[in-house]
Each structure stands twice: as C-alpha cells, then as structure tokens.
Amino acid sequence: MHHGHCTYYLNSRFTKINKSRHSAYALHVHLVFITKYRKPILGDLHHASFGQCAAEVCRDFGAELKECDGEADHVHMLIEYAPTVQLSVLVNSLKAVTSRRLRNEFLDLRGAYSKPVLWSRSYFAGSCGGAPLEVIKQYIQNQRG
C-alpha cells in the first residue's frame, strides 16, 4: 500500500466502453470518505478489510472497485459504474456497510467514538476518465442525419 497523493492515469483499463441494450458508457467516479472528526485511526489491516468490503458492495450494485487506497484518516476509491446506478445510493450503502463491517471486525474502531459511527457525513465524489472532449464532439457531429 502506498501513502500520499493519489494519481489516476487514463489508460486502457479505464477507457473500456461498456455496452448494454440501449447505451454505451464508460463512467468512473473517484470517491473519498473521511473518518469522523478526521481521527487518524485507520491502518493497513483496516484498509485491506475496507477494500474487500467495498468491492462486495460495488458488485451488488453492478459496479466495480478499480482502485482503493487511503491514509490514517481517509479512504480513496475509483469505481466504474453503469448509468443505472444512482451514485448517492451507492455512496450511502458503501458508508453504512463498511462502517458496520469494520467496527464489528476491529475492536479498536469500536472504541474510537462514543456513537456507532466511522465516517464523516460528508464525502467527495469526482467524475474522471472518459473520452476526450474532441472525441465526444466528433461523435455528436457524426450522429446527424
């Protein structure tokens, strides 16, 4: 596991176009959850367990956890998802399920707060990847007539 800043490269892993019956898509979101009060309570074992749990939640939504990392007070995820996924519902599920699982699995996290919480109520979600604007403009222009 590396610590420090997070960089995502636009490469063939992330530019794959997914197809369903009525759409083609390549949607990725960068999510960041921070611990309540930014307490530095997460270690390598917590991050490993978080990654496994987050991957399961993503699969349940038909999404895929592509990358997962973090530091003592936050986690980063790169998730590929379908246009049918409501991002706010995925986020709420990820926060609830990972919080419950980690607090059940690790005694040290149970004692970190007076209430049964792990994550701050806020989160960051940023879109990333996808086709360059010029490619999209060409695609739109080629749809005429």
Q: 7 in a domain, yes or no?
A: no
Residue with tokens 């007539």: 145
Task: Quick: pLDDT tens for 77-131.
Answer: 999 999 999 999 999 999 999 999 999 999 999 999 999 999 999 999 988 876 6
At position 126, the amino acid (one-letter code) is G
In angstroms, the CA 80 to CA 62 distance is 9
Full domain range(s) for residue 109: 18-142
Residue of higher predicted confidence among 27 and 36: 36
Q: Which residues pair with 75 in a beta bridge?
A: 33, 70
- CATH code for the domain in which residue 26 is found: 3.30.70.1290
Q: How many residues does the chain have?
A: 145
- Which of 26-30, 43-47, 81-85, 113-117 has the least mean pLDDT? 26-30
- Which of 22-26, 35-39, 104-108, 109-113 has the least mean pLDDT? 22-26
Q: 125 in a domain, yes or no?
A: yes
At position 134, the amino acid (one-letter code) is E
Position 94 scores a pLDDT of 99
Q: Give the pLDDT band of residue 24 (cuts 50, 70, 90).
A: confident
- % pLDDT > 90, the chain: 67
Q: 68 in a domain, yes or no?
A: yes
Q: 127 in a domain, yes or no?
A: yes
Q: 5 in a domain, yes or no?
A: no
Position 103 scores a pLDDT of 98
Q: 58 in a domain, yes or no?
A: yes
Q: 25 in a domain, yes or no?
A: yes
Q: 79 near 29, Cβ under 8 Å?
A: yes
Q: Domains in the chain: how many in total?
A: 1
On the question of pLDDT at 2 being above 60, the answer is: no
Average pLDDT, the chain: 85
Phi, psi of 131 (to 5 degrees): -80, 150
Q: 9 in a domain, yes or no?
A: no
Q: Give the pLDDT band of residue 25 (cuts 50, 70, 90).
A: confident
